[in-house]
């Protein structure tokens, strides 16, 4: 996901620009609520404002930024109830993906899931020191776990839809949520293991239930983080 040495069909410049801006928002390099000035982005990315404007339109329709006419674009600041809503939806989709995956998953994919959980457990027990802005290994392993299930579901549209929801919320917030909450991290690992257990057992119904619960729980944690944040902002 980091290298694009694609000899294949020449990706459009605009899509590349959009990806870069999205990455900056996802990593927290551009904070939520921050203004996105076209001229500034154009300078930094070494292009004119035209492709920037088209890229911003893409990010607008994907819901990551908000564009107010004649006043420019800002990174959307999620409201807690929006987070809960989105994760309710995501939970259903992930649950469905898990149920589908149970019927089609390969041994290799199961091995990948085991490995991801192992990495997560390891990083949870011995949390490594991180540079600011660096992605924690738990988050990476978490992504591998979920993405593998999406793939195993065999439904590309399902994977895409889940992805669209995830890309509405900056990823670095999820890092922060996990960083200060050892108990949440441990719970995460346990839930992943229970899900994997159900998958291996071939119990689609149970796997689905566990996954739904897992995602809703994660959404609740995320929503609470945004609640605390807005409280802070209003007070201080």
CA distance 130 to 121: 17
Our finding on whether 110 is near DNA (CB under 7 A) is: no
CA distance 179 to 232: 19
Our finding on whether 167 is near a copy of itself (CB under 8 A) is: no
Contact at 8 Å (CB) between 14 and 158?
A: no
Our finding on whether 20 is near a copy of itself (CB under 8 A) is: no
Q: Which of a copy of itself, DNA, none interacts with 8 (beta carbon under 5 to 8 A by kind)? A: none
- The pattern of x and - marking residues 9 through 48 that bind DNA according to CB under 7 A reads -x-xxx--------------------xxxxx--x----xx
Q: Which of DNA, a copy of itself, none interacts with 73 (beta carbon under 5 to 8 A by kind)? A: DNA
Residue 70: exposed, middle, or buried by beta-carbon count in 10 A (0-12, 13-18, 19+)? exposed
CA distance 157 to 132: 34
Our finding on whether 218 is near DNA (CB under 7 A) is: no
Toward a copy of itself, which CB reaches closer, 53 or 114? 53
Instruction: Give least dist CB 173 to a copy of itself, A.
Output: 17
Q: Which two tokens stand for residue 214?
A: 């897992």
CA distance 6 to 210: 38
Instruction: Give least dist CB 82 to a copy of itself, A.
Output: 7
Our finding on whether 14 is near a copy of itself (CB under 8 A) is: yes
CA distance 91 to 7: 37
CA distance 10 to 167: 24
Q: Which of DNA, a copy of itself, none interacts with 39 (beta carbon under 5 to 8 A by kind)? A: DNA
Q: Which two tokens stand for residue 110?
A: 């199961």
Contacts (CB under 7 A) with DNA, residues 54-93:
54, 67, 69-73
Contact set with DNA (CB under 7 A): 10, 12-14, 35-39, 42, 47-51, 53-54, 67, 69-73
């Amino acid at each position: 996901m980091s290298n694009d040495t694609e000899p294949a069909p020449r990706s459009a410049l605009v899509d590349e620009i959009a990806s870069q801006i999205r990455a900056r928002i996802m990593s927290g390099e551009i904070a939520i609520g921050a203004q996105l000035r076209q001229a500034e982005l154009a300078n930094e990315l070494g292009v004119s404002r035209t492709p920037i404007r088209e890229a911003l339109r893409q990010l607008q329709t994907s819901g990551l930024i908000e564009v107010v006419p004649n006043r420019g674009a800002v990174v959307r600041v999620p409201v807690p109830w929006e987070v809960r809503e989105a994760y309710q939806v995501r939970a259903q989709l992930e649950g469905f993906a898990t149920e589908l995956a149970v019927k089609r998953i390969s041994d290799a994919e199961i091995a990948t899931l085991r490995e991801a959980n192992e990495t997560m457990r390891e990083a949870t027990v011995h949390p490594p020191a991180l540079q600011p802005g660096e992605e924690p290994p738990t988050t990476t392993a978490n992504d591998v776990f979920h993405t593998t299930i999406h793939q195993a579901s065999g439904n590309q549209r399902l994977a895409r839809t889940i992805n669209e929801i995830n890309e509405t919320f900056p990823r670095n917030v999820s890092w922060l949520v996990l960083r200060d909450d050892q108990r949440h991290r441990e719970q995460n690992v346990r839930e992943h293991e229970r899900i994997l257990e159900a998958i291996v057992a071939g119990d689609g119904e149970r796997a689905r239930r566990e996954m739904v619960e897992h995602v809703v729980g994660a959404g609740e944690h995320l929503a609470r983080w945004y609640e605390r944040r807005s409280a802070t902002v209003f007070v201080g």
